[in-house]
Amino acid sequence: MADQLNVNTGTLAASVTYQNLVVSGHDVLTMRRTLLSGESVVYGQVCAMRTADSKIVPYEDGAGGGDGTAYCVAADNIDASSGDQVGEFFFRAVLNKNNLTLGDTGNTADDLSMFDDLRTRGIYLVDSVTL
């Protein structure tokens, strides 16, 4: 369990279950952001923010337009297949890298640029731990 602050509502939830992704004992910050129409992400999926419109998209290592810079991690399953969809994303957390979802672009949990991108935003990835 971890404390979770939702900056959109200002509420603090003292007991949140994170399906072995969030490392216990660390605070978590989530924010609501818009997932681009036509995309979908699953809980724990690494995401990027497009520079053109500041919408969230699945992270693709090496892609242009912001898609290749890891920005946040999905805190829920979000389906924007029929239009832009607002969803919850982790922006500060310590996460188990072995339980991340990296999409279908050949990304790996050992992608150093992804680690650096997320770390500069307050998301720290650690090896498998007892959760």
Residuewise pLDDT in 10s, the chain (131 residues): 444 545 455 554 444 455 678 887 778 899 999 999 999 999 999 999 999 999 999 998 777 777 788 999 999 999 999 999 999 999 999 998 888 887 655 556 567 788 899 999 999 988 865 54
How far apart are the C-alpha atoms of 99 and 96, rounded to whole Å? 6
**Is residue 40 domain-resident?**
yes
In this structure, what CATH number is given to the domain that contains residue 35?
A: 2.40.300.10
**Is residue 42 domain-resident?**
yes
How far apart are the C-alpha atoms of 105 and 107, rounded to whole Å? 6
**Is residue 130 domain-resident?**
no
Mode of pairing for the β-strands spanning 11-16 and 2-6: antiparallel
Cα–Cα distances in Å, from 115 out to 16, 53, 70, 119, 123? Answer: 24, 24, 8, 6, 8
User: Residue 116 is part of which domain span?
Assistant: 2-125
